[in-house]
Amino acid sequence: MRRLIKKLALNLFRGRYAPRSFSKWLVLLFDCFIFFVSFWIYVFVKYVNYVDSFNMIWEVIQVEIIHFIPLFVFFLINVFIFGSYQGLVRYSGFGDIKKIAYVCFGTFIVAYMTKAITVGFIPRPLIYKWFVSHTEVVFISMLVFVIMTLSRLVIRRIYNENINHKQEAINTVIYGAGDAGMITENALEQDTSASYNIVAFIDNSANKIGKSINGIPVYSPSKIYNKDFVKKNNIKLIIFAIPSLGNDEKAKIINEIIDLGINVKSVPHLNNWIDNKLTVNQIEDIKIEDLLGRDPIVLGKENVTVGLNNKVVMVTGAAGSIGSEICRQVLHYKPKKLILLDQAESPLYDIQFELKNNEPFRSFNIPMEFVVGNVKDMVKMREMFDKYHPQIIYHAAAYKHVPLMEEFPYEAALVNVLGTKNVVDLSIEYGVEKFVMISTDKAVNPTNVMGATKRIAEIYTQSRKTDKTIFVTTRFGNVLGSNGSVIPLFKKQLAYGGPLTVTDRNIIRYFMTIPEACSLVLEASVMGDKEDIFVFDMGEPVRIYDLAKKMIKLSRKEGVEIEITGLRPGEKLYEELLSTKENTIPTEHAKIMRAKVRRYTQEEVDDKIHTLINLIPTCDNFKIVAQMKNIVPEFISNNSIYSYLDKKENKNEI
């Protein structure tokens, strides 16, 4: 019976059987009790040297209970105004203590103002009978504040140490002994889902090293960065709590930490805190992007606003990784209408649901049209242009998977070449102001069918001569997290226990985030004033093998192996962006350059592309690829069956 009562009491204290609306009234009752006790403690101290008989005690009670009633009413008024009873006592923090301070100070103010107002029309004897002096109100308020604060902190401590039975404490180090570090420590202490033992802070500041904060020592990084310290103190987690640090420095530090085999988490930037407060749920796992060591590229918004505001914008491939992010960013610039075209109905439904139901997009109240259609279907595309008359087009629709397109060249040509031609031709016919094509670094000296089709699409786009439509092309490398990219693949392989597959130990790629890629596209759309191809300064390339090793360390699955599978058909060891000074011209933006590429005339392009398009229905892959090589002489197949066509004697056979 005793155990049952204890269990019921503990569950009630934890709020399991007490509704939230009921528990707050319990807190209010508890606060009223504290006020009652505090008042009579003050009375006891006030009269302890003057009362020497039971009759005098009764007289004091009769006098002071009249003083108690108005003061208690004033206290209740402030409790309801500031809502000090609405917090969960076992989670009390600085915010709750501030509310208690407001209640106590408000009680003094209300008492002072009430007494001052009533002096003019109530006899003084009655005022002295009902109201205590201002000095006494101050002392009583201070006593209430101290007891209420201490009671909450004591209850929180009892709950955390004796009632809230947690798993074994996680020995944790916080990197950063500044304000964010202090807030992180407080958030960990208030977490009820796990127990954290803060072993140390790490900081580079000589003024902090060797000292302690809340009894926790502050060490230099060199003290922590060794396996002996980690093993001796059984360190399981390091939380990076310097959210304002640049990506380069942050990546360097985190790379050193994960080499110790410790789980690493990071405090998000202050702008991402909810209601300017940090909770444990917001402390996030380190992402692979954090280890690439490149600060995000910030592009201008003023020009983009001028270029897109009140325009009818169409995005092809709008349900893909790049297309959907372009749509999200375009909406922030208040277009007149946004048309989203994609042939994949399920992803299109997903982006439709997101943009119509999620904030901030729902609040924009911008008309949107979601169209299921394929750019290779000229009838459907003409219908769209005739109905919506787009002014700005972002052409993101394309096949992009290198090995698959190596198997199906006719499909790659059908969508990437014919599809682009359809949209380009209609843009000229309907007087589109700007056509922005999203291309790829694989179009530079292509070694595969996909890259070759994108280069042909670039050539056709650049060769169009018109006074109405400006054609702009953007090229960038691999996009982190996009459909089919290497990082989602590695995550899936890690989930299944490995191995991680890398085609070659020396293969390298450039990387950027999806928002960066789309910001580049938007910036290019307003920068371009002729048939420009823009390339992006993407920093240093990343070795995929090293990326795989870092992801294994981040996942803390040290037993996972990396399997070298060999280059896939059409794949090359490194991609080129034409980012050297010899091949590019700087622009007003330091991270964006114009590519210097060969210009083709409309006459020499049209015949060759017309021949390619006529070959598509034959599904004769060798003839289709041979014509691609005729259009793009630098297209030399790599690790592909079409390498046969690169031999001079075989070109004449096809």
Q: Which residues are catalytic?
A: 442
Residue 164 has phi, psi (to 5 degrees) of -80, 90
**Residue whose C-alpha is closest to residue 466's, from 436, 427, 437:** 427
**Residue whose C-alpha is closest to residue 595's, from 516, 536, 510, 520:** 536
Looking up tokens 């944790």 gives 172
CA atoms of 3 and 451, how far apart (whole Å): 72
Contact 461, 473 (CB under 8 A): yes
Widest pairwise Cα distance in the chain: 125
**DSSP helix, strand, coil percent of the chain (3-state; round to 5):** 50, 15, 35
C-alpha dist (Å) from residue 387 to 212, 309, 397, 468: 69, 20, 20, 19
DSSP readout, 440-498? -GGGSS--SHHHHHHHHHHHHHHH---SS-EEEEEE--EEET-TT-HHHHHHHHHHTT-
Spacing of C-alpha 634 from chain mean position = 40
Say how many residues make up the chain: 654
Beta strands 584-586 and 562-564 are unpaired
- Tokens of residue 429, six digits: 């016919």
Residue 217 has phi, psi (to 5 degrees) of -70, 150
CA atoms of 58 and 25, how far apart (whole Å): 32
Helices (H), 197-265: 221-224, 227-232, 247-258
**Backbone torsion region of residue 128, taken as left when φ is above 0, otherwise alpha when ψ lies between -120 and 50, otherwise beta:** alpha
Helices (H), 470-598: 486-495, 514-527, 544-555
Helices (H), 119-236: 124-130, 134-158, 179-190, 221-224, 227-232
Cβ neighbours of residue 254 under 8 Å, at least 6 residues apart?
240, 264, 266, 286, 290, 291
Residue 178 has phi, psi (to 5 degrees) of -95, -160
Contact 454, 442 (CB under 8 A): yes
Contact 463, 602 (CB under 8 A): yes
Contact 385, 426 (CB under 8 A): yes
